Structure 1
């Protein structure tokens, strides 16, 4: 899976994943999709975005949510 449009830079948006180094976060794009905005509506509202940016945001979310996590409860680490 190629996610070459998703960038993380500690100097941009506090290190949150962004689209191509712009100040548009992956979480913003995901929120727009989750709130039933169509790709065309998103691209109209954010003309600097391209369809592939939206697709890679969705792929990134899928990849992140599939990773194993460790949940910390006080002093114990529980594998999730």
Structure 2
């Protein structure tokens, strides 16, 4: 099991199956939107004390991995 698999989960009963940080209802997409909107990792962690820095790294790795699988290789 990878770090991503340990930290990012998906369950149809939680946030309609959106990928979330394990043990929370905080969606991967929410964290990405906060970071893209200019929040620092420290600000995200301050607003969501249930998260830690490893969770943020797992969110970013999950997004990168997902994007890589969708991108055509030329």
Give the number of the structure whose alpha-carbon radius of gyration is greater: 1
Gaps of 5+ in 2: none
After superposition, the CA RMSD in angstroms is 1.3
Higher helix share: 2
Partner of 1:40: 42
Q: After superposition, where does 1:1-80 map in structure 2 within 5 Å?
A: 2-3=3-4, 4-68=6-70
CA deviation after TM superposition for structure 1 residue 21, in Å: 3.4
Q: Structure 1: which 5+ residue stretches go unaligned?
A: 70-80
Moved over 4 A (4+): none
TM-score of the superposed pair, with normalisation by structure 2: 0.86
